[in-house]
């Protein structure tokens, strides 16, 4: 999530904040915990506020500020056979030295995050 800077006095569609402070508060809430849902962000924003803001307004404001969401990539779950094979491999290679380990071509079992970084870079370059 990449946030766009708003000019002083400019609000997110004029909906959320009448000043720069409201925009900064929303941005701070999002940056503190990036995996929050819209409902959680809205609840935090409305706590202790003099006026309440609807979820739709928060959603529009976040979109205007350049924040978005990405769904996590689905990965296949490990079954018992996979776990047994991994354990056997680990036991077989337990005695390897650091030099032995450096010569192995490895990949992380999770998905490679470069795809999302590339997408963010393309979005920033195109100005959207």
User: Tens of pLDDT along 17-35?
Assistant: 556 777 888 889 998 988 8
pLDDT band at 118 (very low <50, low <70, confident <90, very high): low
Q: Note if the pTM is more than 0.85.
A: no
pLDDT digits (tens, 9 = 90+) for 65-86: 888 877 777 888 889 999 999 9
Retrieve residue 17's tokens. 């904040």
Residue spans of the domains in the chain: they are 20-65
Half-sphere exposure of 45 (CA within 13 A, CB side): 31
CB 23 within 8 A of CB 12: yes
Q: Which of 75, 101, 76 is nearest to 89 (CA)?
A: 101
Regarding predicted confidence, which is higher, 114 or 22?
22
Give residue 126's pLDDT.
Answer: 64
pLDDT band at 88 (very low <50, low <70, confident <90, very high): very high
């Amino acid at each position: 999530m990449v946030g766009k800077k708003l000019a002083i006095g400019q609000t997110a569609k004029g909906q959320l904040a009448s000043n720069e402070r409201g925009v900064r508060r929303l941005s701070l809430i999002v940056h503190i915990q990036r995996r929050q849902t819209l409902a959680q962000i809205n609840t935090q924003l409305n706590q202790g506020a003099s006026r309440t803001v609807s979820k739709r307004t928060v959603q529009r404001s976040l979109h205007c500020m350049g924040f978005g969401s990405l769904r996590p990539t689905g990965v296949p779950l490990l079954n018992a056979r996979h776990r047994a094979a991994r354990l056997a491999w680990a036991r077989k290679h337990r005695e390897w030295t650091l030099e032995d380990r450096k010569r192995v071509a490895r990949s992380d079992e999770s998905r490679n995050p470069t795809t999302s970084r590339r997408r963010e870079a393309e979005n920033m370059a195109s100005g959207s």
